[in-house]
A and B are shown apart, each in its own frame.
Chain A
């Protein structure tokens, strides 16, 4: 177990390093003059500067060094918790993130809870119902759920619940009330995925011998589903929760823009709009880190939830 743990953590760190490197390569190596992008991001025009000033600016941003030198430098500082300096806001990126992160964490946390509740609830209901037309309709619902653009759903919810019914504020980031609509918007695509997987899981589980046994013991359909069906059908969802973190982060960019919330997602949108390279690099790395850590946790949790899986004797 200990060996597995060390190996798995090492693998996670490697993926994280890879993610940082890939993002660095994309941002600094792709066509497009990095210097002029950085200058325009900090409010200057590259054309208006003399050659001398350009050289000075190049040195200031560390672009005069070799690529490897720059990369090693950035990575070294990132490892020490210094994610660089925002070009357009003129503040350390770490401070910006620390300021914005709580908003996004609250949003993402509530969205994950809501998506699990909604997704599992829908999947469970679909499996329980026996009236054909309703069952078919409910089984099509997840497919509709991830066909709806997140931003359009947000606008629809604003229109109905904020402007139409007036139950929740349309925008802003004060208090729990303003958190509800964004979290629901963000939860819908993930909930659709969970519901779909759970529906398929139940389809498989109903064929299993232990279900026949449970019925033979005299349990009712509801009891069989709750005690024997759900736990087995819901297992794949655990893996999915880890994988959906990426979608939740992506969705947060859109949702925070629509609902004008001051979170990391909105920061990302503004940073890209101003081509603020250090901020983009930091946000992408931080969300990759979140993804890697949560998936690591999910992997480590698996043996506790499913005793059939054990990491100790490695057969393969």
Chain B
């Protein structure tokens, strides 16, 4: 864009000629919110880190020339250099490559967890907020109980029952963060439900399901989306924690947590084997948190 765009489209209604005020297209509205954010270096950097991690999850082979499972005993535990950016592990496998390939499992697990929590939490929250009365009371008591169980321990119990692996861990983490979503959604639905435009829609004869989908959900969505971004980071940490404890993917496949756990045994001689993959995780999660915070603070 060469011409600086006005921050807000308020100037048009003032001009008498522009009496035909038109709603901005969705794309334009998106531009208006995102562009000022992109000018902030921290935001752009965070976006770049997250984009890189997503790219690694989708097409890791574009970003590295090494094979994540090819062992090279001669090159074992080599310190980071220009060839092996993160060094090599005890079997001579390139660690940077393994982190990139690990992104696939870790990000899939986090997406599955957040998706599950989002669907379940949104459903329960909307049901509780909309139905009210006994249904609301019952759902919220169950949510209270789930909130009283420490997240990781609840996940551990679920993993004990359904077995180890990436998918069970993701499900367990998803159930652990579900109550938070249910609470936030319910609060938002309760807030939006009483607003005049919902009443107006009801008076105009719109059915409840349509009111819910067209009027309530789009307006209750914001805080839930912020929570989803925040919890995406939390889910990455939780799945990494569970796989660090040894309940995640079986070797030689590697999640971020398993990579860090694996490096524990060489901490004295080769600290990079667990510290550098961990640093990558920190960068990704910190960026996600930063994005979520920026979205929260952005003027709406």
Contact = CB atoms under 8 A, between A and B. Distances in A.
A220 B135 CA distance: 54
Given A18-B142, A148-B282, A151-B260, A31 B162 contact: yes
Contact of B293 (A27, A143, A254): A143
Interface string B253-287: 00001001101100110010011001001100110
A275 interface: yes
Interface in A26-60: 26-28, 30-32, 37
Nearest to B175: A26
A147 B162 contact: no
Interface residues of B, number: 47
A19 interface: yes
A144 interface: yes
A156 B272 CA distance: 10
Nearest to B281: A149
B292 to A, nearest CB: 9
Contacts of B261: 151
A272 B159 contact: yes
A295 B144 CA distance: 12
B241 A22 contact: no
Question: Range of interface residues on chain A?
Answer: 35 or more
B39 to A, nearest CB: 17
A269 B164 CA distance: 13
Contact of A284 (B156, B263, B285, B286): B156
Contact of A159 (B159, B260, B275): B275
B162 A249 contact: no
B162 A32 contact: yes
Contacts of A147: 233, 237, 282, 285-286, 288-289
Given A159-B271, A254-B241, A254-B244, A18 B141 contact: yes
Contacts of A288: 148-150
A156 B159 CA distance: 28
A143 B162 contact: no
